[in-house]
Amino acid sequence: MTEKNRKNSAADIEEHGCGCSCCEEFACEEPAGGDENESENSSEWLDFAALGIGGLMLAAGLLGGDLLSEGQLWLLYGAPYVLCGYPVLLGACSSVRRGRFFDEFTLMGGATLAAIALGEPAEALGVVIFYQVGEMFQERAAGSSRRSIKNLLAAKPVTAHVLRGDALVSMPPEDVTAGMKVLVKPGERIPVDGLVAAGESRVDTSPITGEPVPIYARQGTKVFGGTVNVDGTLTVEASGPFADSSIARVMEMVENAVARKSPTERFISRFAAVYTPAMFGVAFLTAVLPPLLTGAPWHDWIYRALVVLMISCPCALVISIPLGYFGGIGAASKRGILVKGGNVLDAMNEISAVAFDKTGTLTRGVFEVTDVRPAPGVSEDDLERSASAAESLSNHPVARSIQKAFGALPPAGIDSREIAGKGVVAVHEGTEYAAGNLAMMEARGLLKEAESLSQASPEAGGTVVYVAKGPRFMGRVTVSDVLKADALRAVADLKALGVKSYMLTGDREEGASWVARKLNLDGYRSGLLPDMKVTAMAELAGAAKTAFVGDGVNDAPLLAGAHVGVAMGGLGSEVAVEVADAVVLNDAPSRVADLLSIARRTNKIVRENIVMALATKAVFMLLGVAGLAGLWEALFADVGVALLAILNSSRAVGPGPVMGVVEAREGGLPMVGDGR
């Protein structure tokens, strides 16, 4: 075990309750610099060399012991024992000085010294060698599970190139203020959030969204600190310092997640605090009572007590369980999901229903023209020009989507007025154009024509805008919000996991019912104010433990009050991100099913470790008390089982079940939006 991994926070170790070196690996460390990494690598090579020499000498003693005198054997075993065992003995002395008599160092060091005193130097050497080998494997397994989160922390930008006149000044991203112009060269990380003021480039957003496909950034595009400028030079106008950036919030949430323990972790910590001294008591009684009561040889029962001590070390529980949750958090981060602690994975494992917000969560929240239907005898171009003329000066979201699709006429020469509750009327070059709902068409004497076109396709699929040019009905334009490309997959994946899906929205009944039908939801409520959503969710889900998924400030009360709150978009509402238990960084609702799958997988792995560790230790402890297991078997029951449990925990970082049972349609599905 390297010296670097022995310098840890005593407070963290004491919280676990056993103070073993396994626990120490989870004390928080800053990412090592280059020199520290080189030093650590050199130390690892020295450890490998020492263990290799010790292993060769142990093998030589076991195979050729008959040819050597007793003194030669003691020398053959003693030298590598000191070489390989000094870290354990030093750790034991340090623990005793600090008053920690019940930890792994005192356990292993005391057991090997007692074995030497009992005339078993080969077993003492074997214990320290295989213990150190097990520690090395444990370090590597733990390092693998931490890697995805360390990679995230490595995404922190270190320098910002700020433009001041014609000069370029380098400074820490923390010193950048809002309004500063930052130059970002190809291959560099964007240091702060902001808007592109000049230049064009592709930007790799995977550090914060988990999505491998770069976005194209040009003037006016919002970019985020921690993302990578791929191939062009960008000038970014900062919206604030690095501390306010998206990647800074992400890193803070990840760092805090490690400290938020699950109920299982807290139980194991309390269990270990009682279990370890209790096992020392059992070992003491094993060594003392039989010789006193029956006159049995002290040598035999002291040896059995040593076996019990080695078997009883709770490392397999205390390290593998936090590592399982740590692996689950890492697996989620690989998929662009930030989980704010192991307690969230436990809570997510219990849910049986998910309630979604609609706009911005299941839909993209952007209106688009999704259908153009001219009246008989009218060309599509004439309908589009008439709609453009009518809507050119309107600021309504529906009007802006028509302007974007068909273009807008110059404001000069247009006289426009809004008709409350109906639509808009505009006069251009002496011709009057009207766009609005059926009430607008009725007021112009065109209701029959409009209804005729409406009845031809009753499934509108969006907000319908009817258009007239003078006395003539021109047709209708459908403007819709659009379902996210993976919304259908999100609901289908949850159903495959046995979880019901609901929707809570402030949108009108018309839009909500359309979405519910398209996605095959189990239920929905429409026209809800934020305070009404809590009651509505209770009505829909009953006593079921429910996760709520939302994206806006208005969703914050329900995100905070749900069994699990999932915020859509780490780049969206800061309030929603703050109160949520988990954050989906790429706005994909299908990630909720991925999170549920990860939570279930993590819970299964943790339970496997608990059963495996306790069952194995119980069996070997009985064998040790009965004299059927020696220090070699005890070593397997401690280091071997701990290693198996850690390797099993590392599976939590793996890909897990592949979700996505339903393919999303290209570009998403149109939906009913708010009408005028």
| pLDDT for 115 beyond 80 | no
14 and 120 together in one domain: yes
| pLDDT for 569 beyond 80 | no
Give, for 257, the enclosing helix (H) or strand (E): helix 246-259
Query: How high is the mean pLDDT of the chain?
Result: 76
Query: What's the token pair of residue 44?
Result: 């690892």
Give, for 181, the enclosing helix (H) or strand (E): strand 181-184
179 and 311 together in one domain: no
24 and 95 together in one domain: yes
| Between 492 and 531, the higher pLDDT residue | 492
The pLDDT of 35-55, averaged and rounded, is: 62
The answer to whether 566 and 549 have CB atoms below 8 angstroms apart is: yes
Give the pLDDT of residue 135.
66
145 and 271 together in one domain: yes
| Between 140 and 225, the higher pLDDT residue | 225
The pLDDT of 515-532, averaged and rounded, is: 84
Q: Which pLDDT band, with edges at 50, 70 and 90, does 1 fall under?
A: very low
Lowest mean pLDDT among 36-50, 113-127, 308-322, 524-538: 36-50
Domain of residue 585: give its range: 338-363+484-598
**Cα–Cα dist 551/562, whole Å:** 14
Lowest mean pLDDT among 29-43, 69-83, 428-442: 29-43
Closest CA to 322 of 259, 404, 392: 259
**Cα–Cα dist 607/132, whole Å:** 27
213 and 346 together in one domain: no
Q: Which pLDDT band, with edges at 50, 70 and 90, does 207 fall under?
A: low
Q: Which of 580, 598, 616 is the last residue of a domain?
A: 598
Give the pLDDT of residue 251.
61
Catalytic residue among 193, 357, 522, 551: 357
Residue 442 counted as domain residue: yes
CATH number of the domain bearing residue 431 = 3.40.1110.10
Q: Which of 598, 620, 639 is the last residue of a domain?
A: 598
Give, for 419, the enclosing helix (H) or strand (E): strand 414-419
| Between 40 and 118, the higher pLDDT residue | 118
Instruction: Provide the residue type at 298 as one letter.
Output: W
Q: Which pLDDT band, with edges at 50, 70 and 90, does 571 fall under?
A: very low
Give the pLDDT of residue 101.
62
Name the burial class of residue 201, with classes exposed (0-12), middle (13-18) and buried (19+) by CB atoms within 10 angstroms of its CB: buried
**Cα–Cα dist 623/156, whole Å:** 53
pLDDT digits (tens, 9 = 90+) for 366-383: 778 888 999 999 999 999
284 and 324 together in one domain: yes
Give, for 77, the enclosing helix (H) or strand (E): helix 70-97
Q: Which pLDDT band, with edges at 50, 70 and 90, does 22 fall under?
A: very low
CATH number of the domain bearing residue 584 = 3.40.50.1000
The percentage of residues in the chain with a pLDDT greater than 70, rounded to a whole number, is 70
User: How is residue 669 annotated by DSSP?
Assistant: E
Residue 471 counted as domain residue: yes
Residue 626 counted as domain residue: yes
Sheet order of strands, 337-339 included: 337-339, 582-584, 564-568, 546-550, 353-356, 500-504, 523-525
Give the pLDDT of residue 41.
53
| pLDDT for 147 beyond 70 | no
The pLDDT of 529-552, averaged and rounded, is: 81
| pLDDT for 110 beyond 50 | yes
pLDDT digits (tens, 9 = 90+) for 612-668: 888 888 888 888 888 887 776 776 777 677 778 777 877 776 654 444 433 333 344
Q: Which of 559, 576, 598 is the last residue of a domain?
A: 598
Q: Which pLDDT band, with edges at 50, 70 and 90, does 675 fall under?
A: very low
Q: Number of folded domains in the chain?
A: 4
The answer to whether 235 and 182 have CB atoms below 8 angstroms apart is: yes
**Cα–Cα dist 583/576, whole Å:** 9
The pLDDT of 572-597, averaged and rounded, is: 80
Give the pLDDT of residue 613.
81
147 and 12 together in one domain: yes
The pLDDT of 200-211, averaged and rounded, is: 72
The answer to whether 363 and 671 have CB atoms below 8 angstroms apart is: yes
Residue 659 counted as domain residue: no
Instruction: Provide the residue type at 418 as one letter.
Output: E
| pLDDT for 3 beyond 70 | no
Q: Which pLDDT band, with edges at 50, 70 and 90, does 476 fall under?
A: very high
CA atoms within 13 A on the CB side of 371: 22
Residue 676 counted as domain residue: no
Helices 263-294, 342-350: crossing angle, 10 deg rounding: 100
| Between 153 and 120, the higher pLDDT residue | 120
| pLDDT for 286 beyond 60 | yes
Q: Which pLDDT band, with edges at 50, 70 and 90, does 118 fall under?
A: low
Give the pLDDT of residue 551.
77
503 and 465 together in one domain: no
* Neighbouring residues of 476: CB distance < 8 A, sequence distance ≥ 6: 373, 450, 453, 454, 464, 465, 466, 467
The answer to whether 505 and 357 have CB atoms below 8 angstroms apart is: yes
Residue 667 counted as domain residue: no
The pLDDT of 150-174, averaged and rounded, is: 76
342 and 313 together in one domain: no
Q: Which pLDDT band, with edges at 50, 70 and 90, does 390 fall under?
A: very high
51 and 190 together in one domain: no
The pLDDT of 445-467, averaged and rounded, is: 75
22 and 143 together in one domain: yes
Q: Is 300 a catalytic residue?
A: no
Q: Which pLDDT band, with edges at 50, 70 and 90, does 246 fall under?
A: low
The pLDDT of 570-574, averaged and rounded, is: 52
Q: In Å, what is the CA distance from 624 to each residue of 45, 50, 392, 539, 620?
A: 35, 30, 87, 58, 6
CATH number of the domain bearing residue 202 = 2.70.150.10
| pLDDT for 239 beyond 90 | no
180 and 207 together in one domain: yes
**Cα–Cα dist 556/571, whole Å:** 15
User: How is residue 667 annotated by DSSP?
Assistant: T
Q: Which pLDDT band, with edges at 50, 70 and 90, does 388 fall under?
A: very high
The pLDDT of 347-358, averaged and rounded, is: 90
**Cα–Cα dist 83/75, whole Å:** 12
pLDDT digits (tens, 9 = 90+) for 61-78: 767 666 777 777 777 877
3 state DSSP class of 287: helix
Q: Which pLDDT band, with edges at 50, 70 and 90, does 125 fall under?
A: confident
User: How is residue 639 annotated by DSSP?
Assistant: I
Beta bridge partners of 568: 584
Give the pLDDT of residue 567.
85
Phi, psi of 385 (to 5 degrees): -65, -40
Find which of 280-284, 325-329, 345-349, 626-630 is predicted with most confidence, using mean pLDDT: 345-349
3 state DSSP class of 350: helix
Residue 92 counted as domain residue: yes
Residue 660 counted as domain residue: no
